[in-house]
Amino acid sequence: MSAKPKTLILTGYGINCDWETEFAFNQAGARAERVHINDLIAGERKLSDYQVLAIPGGFSYGDDLGSGKVLANKIRANLRDEVLGFVSGDRLVIGICNGFQVLVKSGLLPQPTPELNQTVTLTFNLSGKYEDRWVWLAGKSDKCVFTTGIERIYLPVAHGEGRFFAEEKELSSLKKNDQIAFQYVDSRGKPARGNFPENPNGSVLDLAGICDPTGRIFGMMPHPERFLYSTSHPNWEREKELLSRQGKKLKEEGDGFQIFKNAIKYFK
Amino acid sequence: MATRIQVFTKPGLPDYLGERVRKRIARDLAIELASVRIGEIYTLDRDFPAEDLEKLRRELFTDPVTQESNLSEPAPVFLKSQKFDWIVEIGFLPGVTDNPGRTAREAIEDLLRVKFQKSESVYTSRQYLLRGRLSRPEVGQVTSALFNPLIERAQIMSRKEFEQAGGLSLPLPRVKLPPEPPVLSVDLNLPDEELSRLGKQGIVETVRNGREIRRGPLALDLDYLHAIRDYFNREGRKPTDLELESIAQTWSEHCKHTIFAACLDGVDGLFKTYIRRSTEEIRKKRGRKDFCVSIFTDNAGVIRFNRDFNLVYKVETHNTPSALDPYGGAITGIVGVNRDPLGTGKGSRLVVNTYGFCFGNPAGKWEPLFRDREKENPVLHPRTVFEGVRRGVEDGGNKSGIPTGFGFVRFDPRYRGKPLVFVGTLGLMPARIRGKPSEKKGARSGDLIVVAGGRVGKDGIHGATFSSEELHAGSPVTAVQIGDPITQKKLGDAQLEARERELYTSVTDNGAGGISCSVGEMARECGGCLVELEKVPLKYPGLAPYEIWISESQERMTYAVPPEKADEFLGLLESRGAEAAVIGKFTDSGRCIVSYRGKKLMDVDLDFLHDGLPRKTLRSKWNPPRQPELKLSEPADYGEVLQAMLSWPNLAGKEFVVRQFDHEVQGGSVIKPLVGVEEDIHSDAVVYRPLLDSREGVAITGSLFPGYGDIDPYWMAADAIDQVIRNLVAAGADPGKIALLDNFCWCSSDEPERLGQLKRACEACYDFATRYQAPFISGKDSMFNDFKGFDAQGGPIKISVPPTLLISGIGIVPDLRRCVTLAAKSAGDLVYVLGLTRKELGGGQYYAARGEKEKGGAYVGASVPQVRPEETLKLYPRVADIIKEGLVASAAPVGEGGLGISLAKKAMAGCLGMEIDLSRVPKGPGTERDDYLLFSESTGRFAVTVDPKKSAKFEKRMKGLPMAKIGVVTNEPVLKARGVKGKEIIRIKIEELKEAYKKTFKDW
C-alpha cells in the first residue's frame, strides 16, 4: 500500500464540508481530493482508484424529502455497483453528518445489502430544531477503524436531523456486533441517557456514530473536521490561559484529527 | 393525471416537528392542542405507471423506519391510521418557489430515468392534523399562524367535513398566464401631471371599463421623466415599455443611491463628500501601508488579508420583503448578499455570514396594524417576523455551508411597521488568479453573455423600485420570493472551478433589476451589449419581454465568456447540475440593445442609461432635538435592576438564535458567537480562520445605536464606529487593519429634517473613520423605511423606523492564538476598567428599560455618549498590544448596558464570582450615583481581568492612561459590588444572573 492513501472527498448538490474534510485528510497524511459525484457517474473518475471514500457533511439537496435521502437515491440509482464493489474490498468509508445520513439512507450502514435498502434512520431532532453545539462522545467499538484509541472526545454537532432511530432488533444486532462506535456522554463520561443537551438530538441508545460489522464503514453525526486545531475548541483560550499559569503550552492540534489519522494508520 | 403521495410519521411514533408547532401555538396563541402531526404531501403532476408510483412512494418519499405513506388519485383520501379532529392543508400559490418540489422532480428523474416536460411538475404541500377541542375560529387562528396568504393558501376541514367530502384537496398551483401582453410604446410628451402618475403608478397596461390598469410603480420622479422624454425626443421616437422599465430600474434609488449622490445644501453628494472622501484620504495617508484593494466600484469591498489572499465583504438589507414574508424575505436576503462577494472581481469563496435584525417588541401589548383600510392585510406580529426571519437566515446560511458568525437582534416599537433585516457575507479570494489580480474583471467586445443559475419567472418584478417607495396596500406581492440556497450552491461551486480555469472574463450577480442591471453594468466594461431575450430560460411561458428583462428571479449570475471557452464553460456548469444559457453578446457599439424574437425592443445609449439621470438637489434642516435631561430616582435594589437589565430584550441572551445557525462549518471558528465555560454568553465579536493552513484570522463585528439618534445622529454614528473598533480590538484585531461598512436605514428621506439627521450621521462617519484610520470599503442605503397603514380602528397611521446606521467592521488578527474572550478565567484575577465612565446614559438601555417599566415607553434623556479620540487613540493601540503580549486573561468592550452588564457577562461566562468596588471606577464628573456608574454607556472603555502575577507589568504598560483596578474574581460564584458610598449594593449568585439573562427567550 502506498504511504498516502488516496482519498475521495465527495462533492456536489449541496455537500458543503468538503474543503475542511479534504484538509483534514491531507494533514493526516492522505492524498485527498474533492470529486464531484457527477464525475463519478460520468466515469471521469473511478471509485476503484481510491482507498478511502469520505462523504462530508452538508445539506445535499437541501434536506428535501429527508436528510441524505435524495443523494442516497442518486448513489443507489447511478453508482450501486461501484459502491458495492468498493466496500467489498479492503477500503474505508466515512460519512460525517449529512454523509452519515447518506450512508444510512443508502443502506450502506449498518450493513450493506445488495439492494442497498435502508434499515435504520436518522430523523428530526427531538427538539424539532437545528442544533449547533459541542458534545462529549465516548468511543465504544473495538472494531471501528476510525475510532480506535478514542475514549472520549469533545466535538461539535450541527444538524436538524441527527436522531438515530431503529427497531429493537436492529439495535440489538448493532450491540451484538460491536457496531456502536460513538455514544453521547456527559462531561464526565457517563451515558447521556437521552438527556438534552448531552444527547443533542434524542438518539436512541445515545448513538452518535455506528460502523458496519467489519468496522471499515463508519458514520457519525458530530464533525471531527471542525476540531483540527485546538483553537476551534469553545474554551481554548481559557485552557491556554490556565495552562500558561502552570508553565505549560496549549498544543496546536485539535482532537478531531485522531479520526482521520486512524484512517491513514489503517493502511500502514 | 396528478397523484398525491402523502407521508406521515408512523402512528406509534412521536412527531417532533408537530410537537414544536403545538408548543408554539400554545405559547403564542394560548391555544392548547392535544397533538399536532404533520404530513408531507407530494403531488406529482405527471403520469406514471402504477409500479413506478409505488417504487417512488416506497424508495424515495418514505422513510421505512419512521414514516408511513399512501398514494391517492385523484381525490386524496386520508391515512386511516392517523387520528385528528381538524385538518389543515397548506400549499403554495402558483409561481412561488417550491424547493422540495424541484428536488423531488430531480430525484424522480434520477431514479426512474425519465424527463419531466415543461408542463409537468411536482408540488409540495403540508397537512397539519390537529387534535383537541377547538372551535372553528380557533382553528382559523391556528391556521393563520401557520401560513402566509401572500404566498400560500390553506384549506380547513373538520373530521366530519373531511369524511363527508371524501378527502381534502388544494387546487394545483400550476402557473397559468394569459397570452403574453404586447409590447407597448409609451408616449412621454404628456402634461406633467400625467407624467407624474406614470412615474408613481406605472405604465398603463390596458383600460378596462374606463379604468386604467397600471403595471406598478416605476418610481421615476418628474425630472427623471423629463430627461427620458428629452432623450427619446432627440432619438426621434417613443420609448418602448421595456426601455422605460429598464431605465427605471437602472435609475432607481436602490441602484443609483440618488439621495446619497444628490447635491445637498450645496454639499457635492453625501457619499462622495463624507464616505468616499474619508476612504480616499486614509488610503493616501497610508501610502504603501494601504490595505484597500477594490473599494466602492464593485459589488463588495475588497481588502488585503495577507500576501496571497483578499477579503471581500458586503452587507445588505432586505427590509420590505421581510415585512411581507419574513422567511422568504430573509432567505432571499442572505442568499442574495452571498452573490455580492460571489460577483466581486473574479468571484470569491464565501466564508462567513453576518446578520442584524431590528424588530418591534416581541412580547407585551400588540396593537394590530393593517396595510389597507379594509383591514384585510394585517401587519405580522413582531414575534412572527422574528421567527420567520431567523428561520430564513438559518436555512440560507446552513444550507449554503457558510457559517453564520456574527449577529445581533434589536427591539424598538418603531420597527413594528417595518423590520430591518441586515445580512452580510464575507468572501475570500486569492489575490491573484493565474498571475492576474483577482479583483480585476472586464467583459470584452465579442464575449458571450451567459446567464446561469435559477430560471426566470414573474418574481420580484418592480422589486427595485418597490423598496424605494413606501409600503402600502398596492404593493405588488410579486415582490415576495423564496430563496433557493442549493441552486446557488451548485452554481457557486461550479463558478470556483470555472474561475480557476479562467473560463470567463467578468461576472456579476443578478439582484435588483435582474439582467437589465447586471448586463447593463457589465456592458460598461466593454461599451455595449446585444441581448436576445427569447434565449433566457423561463420558469413558465407567458412573460412579457420587459418582465424577462427586469425580473428579479433569484440565484442567477451573469458571465462574460469568450466564445472559444463557451463550450467548456457551459459543459462544466451542466456537469455540476447548474443551468446556463447564452443570451447574447457584449459589444463596443456604445449602446444597450435588446431584441425579442428578432424585434428590437431597446436601443439606448449606454452613457445615457447609466449617467443620464439628473442630479437631485436637496435641502436639509437640522434641528437639534431638545430632549430634557432626566431626573430619575435612584433605585433601591440594585440586584433587582441588574437582573431586569439582563432580561431586557435588547441585552438578554438569545442563545436559541445562535444555536440554530451553523456557525462552525468550514472548520475555522476561533472566537465563537457564544463564549464562556458553558458556551452561553454572547460575544461582541467573532474571529474566524478563513484559511485552514494559516494562523491569521479575521475578527467580525457590527454595531448600531438607534436610541442615540433620538438625541443626535452624529453621536449615533460616531459611537457605532467606536464600538466596532473597540469590539475588534478586544477580540485581538490589529487596530491598524480595520475596515468598515455602512448601512443606512433611514425613513422619510424626502423630508428636510430627516435629511438633516442623515447629514449629521455622515459627518460623523467622515470624522471618525479618518480619526481611527479605518476606511469604509462598502455600504448600502435603504432610505424609505416607513410604514403607512391603518390601525385597528381604521385610522391612518405612519410608523417610521428610527434613523438607523449599522456599522459593520472586520479586522485582521495577525495571530489568532492571541485572541481572548470576555470570560473571566480564574479566581484571584484582578478586574480592571480602562477608560473613563461619564454620565452618559441618554438614549441608552438603562433609560429605555426603566422608561418601559415606569411609563410604557423608553426614556431618552440628553446625555448621549460621545467619542473622544484624544483619549481613545492613545488607549486602543495599547490595549491591542497588551492583548498581543498576553497580559490580560479576558477582555471585553464596555458597551450597551454599561459596566454592570459587561461585568455580569464576564462573571457569568467564567462561571466565577466577582467583588467590585464601584468607587474605584475611573470617572468623569456627575457620576456620583451607582446607577450612573453601572449603566452609563460612555464609549472608549474596556473591562479586563489580569493574572495577579502579571498585574505589575500590566499596570506599567497602561501607565498614563485612565485605568483602575476595581475588584477581584472570586471562586464563590456570587457577584458582589460596593457602591460609591462604600455600602454593598449588589450580592447575587451567578446562577441567578444567568437565569435572568436567559429567561426572556427561554422557550423560543
Sheet with B263-264, side-by-side order of all strands:
B267-268, B263-264, B617-618
Q: Would you call A12 and B825 a contact, using CB atoms and an 8 Å cutoff? A: no
Q: pLDDT tens digit string along B367-408?
A: 999 998 988 888 999 999 999 999 999 999 999 999 999 999
For domain A6-230+253-266, say whether CATH 3.40.50.880 is its number. yes
A238 and B575 within 8 Å at the Cβ level: the answer is no
SS3 letters across B410-459: EECHHHCCCCEEEEEEEEEEECEECCEECCCCCCCCCCEEEEEECCECCC
Q: CB distance from A62 to chain B under 8 Å?
A: yes
B674 contact A CB<8A: yes
B670 touches chain A (CB under 8 A): yes
3-state secondary structure B882-934: HHHCCCCCEEEECCCCHHHHHHHHHHHHHCCEEEEEHHHCCECCCCCCHHHHH
CATH of the domain at B68: 3.30.1280.10
Rg (CA), chain B: 29
Q: Rounded CA gap, B273 and B265, in Å?
A: 12
Q: In this complex, which of B399, B575, B693 lies closest to A42 when CB atoms are compared?
A: B575
Euclidean distance between CA atoms A210 and A145, whole angstroms? 11
For residue B560, what pLDDT is reported? 98
The span from the CA of B12 to the CA of A206, in Å, is 21
Q: Which residues of chain A have pLDDT under 50?
A: 1
Mark which residues 126-145 of A lie under 8 Å from B by CB: 126-134
B669: chain A residues, CB-CB within 8 Å: 226, 232
| ipTM computed for the complex | 0.97
The answer to whether B401 contacts chain A (CB < 8 Å) is yes
Contacts of B818 (CB under 8 A, 6+ apart): B732, B883, B884, B886
CA distance B125 to B173: 10
Q: How far is A76 from chain B (nearest CA, A)?
A: 8
**Per-block mean pLDDT, blocks of 10 residues, chain B (1004 long):** 90 92 92 95 94 95 94 64 89 89 95 92 95 94 90 91 82 81 92 94 86 86 95 96 95 88 94 96 96 95 97 96 93 96 97 98 87 89 95 97 98 96 98 96 97 89 53 50 92 97 97 92 96 94 91 94 98 97 97 97 96 93 85 94 97 98 98 98 98 97 97 98 98 97 96 97 98 97 95 95 98 97 98 97 96 93 96 97 97 97 98 98 91 97 98 97 97 97 97 98 90
Contacts of B658 in chain A (CB under 8 A): 132
Instruction: Kindly report, residue by residue over B136-155, the tens digit of the pLDDT.
Output: 999 999 999 998 888 888 99
Domain map (residue ranges) of chain A: 6-230+253-266
Test mutation, A233, A238, A257, chain B, max B CBs within 10 A: A238
Whether A228 sits inside 8 A of B820 (CB atoms) is no
In a domain, B133, yes or no: yes
- Using the 3D structure, point to which of B165, B190, B208 is the last residue of a domain: B165
Amino acid, res. A10? L
Q: Count interface pairs A-B at CB distance under 8 A.
A: 200
Q: With contacts defined as CB-CB under 8 Å, which chain B residues touch A105?
A: 63
How many Å lie between the alpha carbon of B354 and the closest alpha carbon of chain A?
A: 16
Q: Is the CB of residue B579 less than 8 Å from the CB of residue B452?
A: yes
Q: Is residue B135 part of a domain?
A: yes
Contact present, B328 and B373 (Cβ < 8 Å): no
Residue range(s) defining the domain that contains residue B155: 3-165
B106 vs A129: CB contact, 8 Å cut-off?
Answer: no
Predicted local distance difference test score (pLDDT) of residue B76: 54
Domain count, chain B: 2
Q: Is residue B912 part of a domain?
A: yes
C-alpha distances (whole Å) from B903 to each of B124, B281, B675, B915 are: 51, 38, 14, 10
Residue B875 in grid coordinates = 488607549
Q: Which residues pair with B240 in a beta bridge?
A: B185
CB-CB neighbors (< 8 A) of A65 in chain B: 60-61, 100, 103-104, 107
Contacts of B693 in chain A (CB under 8 A): 23
Catalytic residues of A: 97, 223, 225
In a domain, B903, yes or no: yes
Between helix B16-29 and helix B136-146 the angle, nearest 10°, is 110
Residue B676 C-alpha, separation from nearest chain A C-alpha, in angstroms:
7
A-interface mutation test, from B484, B688, B692, most A Cβ less than 10 A away: B692
Binary contact (B64, A119; C-beta < 8 A): yes
Instruction: Output DSSP code: residue B628.
Output: P
**Residue A169: left (phi > 0), alpha (psi -120 to 50), or beta?**
alpha
Tell me which residues of chain B, numbers 44 to 103, contact chain A at a CB-CB cutoff of 8 Å.
59-61, 63-66, 99-100, 103
Give one word for B314, left, alpha or beta, with left for phi > 0 and alpha for psi -120 to 50: beta
Q: What are phi and psi of B994, to 5 degrees?
A: -65, -40
Closest to A64 (Cβ–Cβ): which among B104, B113, B659?
Answer: B104
Q: How far is A193 from chain B (nearest CA, A)?
A: 18
- Give a yes or no: residue B84 inside a domain: yes
Facing residue for B660 by CB, picked from A129, A166, A234: A129
Q: Residue A16, exposed/middle/buried by CB under 10 A (0-12, 13-18, 19+)? A: buried
**What's residue B459's pLDDT?**
81
Residue B683's contacts (CB-CB under 8 Å, 6 or more residues apart) are B671, B672, B673, B674, B675, B731, B821, B822
A57 in B contact zone (CB under 8 Å): yes
Q: Least CB-CB distance to B666: which of A20, A76, A202?
A: A20
DSSP string, chain A: --SS-EEEEEE-TTB--HHHHHHHHHHHT-EEEEEEHHHHHTTSS-GGG-SEEEE--B-GGGGTTSTTHHHHHHHHHHSHHHHHHHHHSS-EEEEETHHHHHHHHTT-SS---TT----SEEE--TTSS-EEEEEEEEE--SS-STTTT-SEEEEEEEESS-EEE--HHHHHHHHHTT-EEEEEE-TTS-B-TT-TTTSSS--GGGEEEEE-TTS-EEEESS-GGG-SBGGGSTTHHHHHHHHHHTT----SB-TTHHHHHHHHHHT-
- B831 within domain boundaries: yes
Q: Do A234 and B674 touch (CB under 8 A)?
A: yes
Spatial CA neighbour of A241 closest among B432, B949, B135, B146: B949
Q: Of the candidates B60, B47, B42, which has an alpha carbon nearest to the alpha carbon of residue B114?
A: B47
Q: With an 8 Å Cβ cutoff, are A62 and B486 in contact? A: yes
Chain A, residues 154-193, CB within 8 A of chain B, namely: 156, 158, 163, 165-167
Contact of B290 with chain A, judged by CB distance below 8 Å, is answered with: no
For the domain that residue B867 is a member of, what is the CATH number?
A: 3.90.650.10
Pairwise CB contact (< 8 Å): A226 & B100: no
CA atoms of B788 and B796, how far apart (whole Å) = 7
Q: Does the CB of A12 have a partner CB in chain B at under 8 Å?
A: yes
CB atoms B826 and A232 under 8 Å: no
Scan for cell 445562535, then name that residue. Answer: B658
Question: Of A14, A65, A231, which has the smallest distance from its Cβ to B670's Cβ?
Answer: A231
Q: Do B825 and A234 touch (CB under 8 A)?
A: no
The last residue of one of the domains, among B125, B140, B165, is B165
Chain A closest CA to B725's CA: distance in Å?
21
CA A126 to chain centre: 20
Q: Are B946 and B963 in contact (CB under 8 A)?
A: no
Nearest chain B Cα to A80, which residue? B111
Find the closest chain B residue to A59 by CA distance: B399
Alpha-carbon distances, residue B593 vs B33, B190, B534, B676, B971 (angstroms): 60, 26, 14, 59, 74
> Which stretch of DSSP H or E encloses residue B808?
strand B804-813
Catalytic residue, chosen from B254, B257, B381, B462, is: B254
Output the pLDDT for position A197. Answer: 96
Q: Report B:156-185 residues touching A (Cβ under 8 A).
A: none
